[in-house]
Structure 1
Amino acid sequence: MKFLRWLAVLVLLIVIVGGYVAYRLSQPYATFDSETFVDFAKGTTTMEMARFLERAGVIAHAWEFLAIRALEPKRALKAGEYQFNKPASAFEVYDRIARGDVFYHVLLIPEGSNMFDIGAAAERLKLFSSADFLQVARDPSMIRDLDPAAPSLEGYLFPSSYRLDRHTTPSRLCRLMTSQFREVWKQLNSNANVHDAVTLASLIEREARLSQERPMMSSVFQNRLKIGMKLDCDPTTIYAALLENRYRGVIHQSDLANESAYNTYRHAGLPPGPIANAGKDSLLAALHPDETGYLYFVLRPDGSGGHNFSRSIAEHQVATAQFRRANHRQEIEKSAPRRIPAGKKTRVRHGA
């Protein structure tokens, strides 16, 4: 009888302890303020992970993490940096680390972004300062083997979505982006001069608003290059102003008269290097232009983003006049007072 009594007591104790442990492991816990980060290097042991989590205030006691490890010994725990921004149970914490739910920033770089845009985007994510990024991006050594004439990494920082941890440096980001460019360029399987193709693609990317117009726009630039005609590309004047840290959102007459080698209103031929980072479609358009006799283009007045293409200056002047008239009408409509239709009453509200 004594044995049975002691066995009953032992079973009761096991049930109580097990219930307590299950309760502790399922209760949300946090002693950090708004968020905390825990970084596990490769090779970190389970015991070390448990202690790091306890010190960071993510779990109450290291034994909780170790207890779950004993229950789930086959699940591999993943190295990396983890963000915790709300109370979570030890089970939830363990599950996140077993799934490898590591923290990363998503840096989205649209096609046509330049190195100034990329630096500003990285700074907004608080990865590093724009100035630090530009210092690395102005050094073309990463792509010197591909383009010995490149004045910087501009044009080779391929636009895409990048998953970055908090420890990403400007150098690492530039290497990721130039590596992505190399992959895309390899897919294009071209023997063309890389420098000229990438430079032309950057102009196409900045001018074209509709994807289907890119090969046609490419033909305009290439037709002009063949006859030695200046490209007169507005985005090149903007880029020249950016390099001189004086662009304020509008092209001025002084920008058009600027003697910068990037200003295609003053100098025939391509600029010294790319003015932006083109996507794959613009690279393809630079390599495979349409065969046309067009030398000019101007935006259509319908707001579609498409362009009117012309072979002669006379045709171009007509298209330009149409665009300006449409713009003028829109400005008048915006500034004109609203008319109230006859028979309609207006309501006047008083107070908040």
Structure 2
Amino acid sequence: MGRKGLLVLLLILALIGAGTWFAFAQLGEATIEEDTAFIIPSGASVSAVADKLEAEGLVSSADGFILTARLFGSSEPIQAGEFRLAAGMSQSQILEKFQSGDVIRRFVTVPEGMPSIMVWERLMAEELLTGEIDVPSEGSILPDTYFFERGQSRAELVERMQAAMDRYLAEAWAKRAPDIAVDTMREALILASIVEKETGKPSERRMVAGLYSNRVRQGMLLQADPTIIYPITKGKPLGRRIRQSEIAAVNGYNTYTRVGLPEGPITNPGRESIAAVLDPADTSALFMVADGTGGHVFADTLEEHNANVAEWYALRRERGEM
């Protein structure tokens, strides 16, 4: 190559270098120094997002981010939500994150047996949710862990919780054992709420469900203490011993004065309690009393039950509880 050709080549390379420098200068750069949460409102355009990035000091130029989006972005739209931008991310990486919809998800847990008044309190206390809600219908919420995004409405989250209960109850009902003690999904939900409150021991659920199923079939009083408490506290802990006047109270829930099931659920039962009611243990037990370990002793006859109660009282006296 002659001297003239070499000069032309050097000139071309210089022009390419200058053009590259100019292009990258126009593109700007990301300036994220530490992990940062960034919110894209619903319906925001690329231009609006770019202006917000620049205003929050996360890119050096809004115009540069827009140019990056045009040159290097995919055809996917930018998603709304809250995103976590990592320190040192490039503009292309930021854009890819926005287009992927990889939003920050937060979680709220409804434990098995949490009554609706406490679900309501938990959701109202979550500051990142929006909007007012009424206390959900008792038994309508499926206990589980649910994700949500910043700014999501409480009403939308409750609808998702209730839809989950409707789906699970329908699926479980379709698989129910033959000749169970309840005739409808509503009755199954009510009985499951009693089973949920009567035992905290998973291995006992089917046995407790079998016992109460026997009582329902025989037209006996269910005599479930949680049904006394529910009209008083809406399912919250009573915090004291039940009074005789409360045991004798006549209302739609108290199964010491009401034959059959309460008029409605007394909590939000979990999957296992619902499944237990729909496939209870094959037992002839009609009575149970606490055994001091968190579980119960079961009995077929009142005589056996009275003996078990005497042992339970003796244990409580030994512990100084009576």
Both proteins in one fold, TM over 0.5:
yes
Q: Give the SS at the match of 1:249.
A: coil
Of residues 147, 156, 166 in structure 2, which corresponds to 1:163?
Answer: 147
The CA deviation at 1:109 is 1.4
Number of the residue aligned with 1:311: 300
1:279-318, aligned counterparts within 5 Å? Answer: 279-301=270-292, 303=293, 305-318=294-307
Question: Is 1:37 matched with 2:27?
Answer: no
Number of the residue aligned with 1:249: 239
* 1:128-168 Cα distance to aligned partner (Å, 9 max, x none): 599x43x252xxxxxxxxxxxxxxx2112122222223343
RMSD (Å) for aligned C-alpha atoms: 3.4
Q: Give the SS at the match of 1:25.
A: coil
Of residues 310, 317, 323 in structure 1, which corresponds to 2:312?
Answer: 323
Q: Do 1:205 and 1:278's aligned partners in 2 also have CA atoms closer than 8 Å? A: yes
* 1:187-218 Cα distance to aligned partner (Å, 9 max, x none): 22159312211100111112122333222211
TM-score when normalising by structure 2: 0.79
Q: Give unpaired runs (5+ residues) of structure 1.
A: 138-152, 333-352
Of 8-17 and 193-202, deviating more is: 8-17
Amino acid at match of 1:28: I
Number of the residue aligned with 1:346: none
Number of the residue aligned with 1:143: none
* 1:255-310 Cα distance to aligned partner (Å, 9 max, x none): 43443321222322211101111222222222232232211112222x2x332111
Distance in 2 of aligned mates of 1:16 and 1:187: 62
Percentage identity across paired residues of the two chains: 23
The CA deviation at 1:58 is 3.9
Q: Give the SS at the match of 2:41.
A: strand
Q: Give unpaired runs (5+ residues) of structure 2.
A: 177-181
Q: Give the SS at the match of 2:146.
A: strand
Q: Do 2:129 and 2:151's aligned partners in 1 also have CA atoms closer than 8 Å? A: no
Distance in 1 of aligned mates of 2:125 and 2:258: 36
Distance in 1 of aligned mates of 2:236 and 2:277: 29
Q: Give the SS at the match of 1:297.
A: strand
1:243-282, aligned counterparts within 5 Å? Answer: 243=234, 248-253=238-243, 254-282=245-273
The CA deviation at 1:26 is 5.0
Distance in 2 of aligned mates of 1:286 and 1:51: 57
Q: Alpha carbons of 1:18 and 1:27: their partners in 2 closer, same or farther (altered >3 Å)?
A: farther
1:1-352, aligned counterparts within 5 Å? Answer: 3=8, 6-14=11-19, 16-17=21-22, 25-29=29-33, 37-41=39-43, 44-74=44-74, 76-84=76-84, 89=89, 90-127=91-128, 132-133=132-133, 135=134, 137=136, 153-188=137-172, 189=174, 192-243=183-234, 248-253=238-243, 254-301=245-292, 303=293, 305-330=294-319
The CA deviation at 1:85 is 7.9
Distance in 1 of aligned mates of 2:227 and 2:171: 28
Distance in 1 of aligned mates of 2:313 and 2:65: 69
